[in-house]
Amino acid sequence: MAGKSLKDRLADWLQGRNGSDELGTASLVVSLIFLLVNGLAHQRWLSAVSLAFAAYACWRVLSRQVAQRRAENQAFLQRTAPIVSWVKNPAAAVAEARAYKHLSCPSCHQRVRVPRGKGRLRVTCPSCRTKFETRS
């Protein structure tokens, strides 16, 4: 133990912990935004909110409940996916919205894309194979 470097000891300590993920990164970004706004507004509650988001991000990184943190991160990614696609490439997102209609499967809630302007369609869900009808 005495011969290990600081980097090796830190790696041993972090073994089995969640580490950084998208939800933790988003929490840090929100924390920084609140901190910047607090620099202009000088409100104590903004500092408290900023500190709370930063503490939540640190807690996520150090958590040993990896499966639960992974499930939370997946739920976060699913909820933010439409927003992220619009932010990353707005022109492609607009073209996609004009050409296709996005539906949700009534059985498994899988997102299904169908072409617009084709009238009444019978759609088969690629995930659960449920057939349902819709207008495009």
Tokens 């089995």 -> residue: 16
Paired residues of 104 in beta bridges: 111
The Cα 85–Cα 101 span in angstroms is: 15
Q: Is the pTM of this model over 0.85?
A: no
Look at residues 34, 20, 14, 28 and name the one whose alpha carbon lies nearest to residue 56.
28
Question: Over the stretch 12-45, which tens digit does the pLDDT of each residue have?
Answer: 888 889 889 999 999 999 999 999 999 999 999 9
The Cα 7–Cα 35 span in angstroms is: 30
Question: Over the stretch 43-63, which tens digit does the pLDDT of each residue have?
Answer: 999 999 999 999 999 999 999
Look at residues 50, 56, 46 and name the one whose alpha carbon lies nearest to residue 24.
56
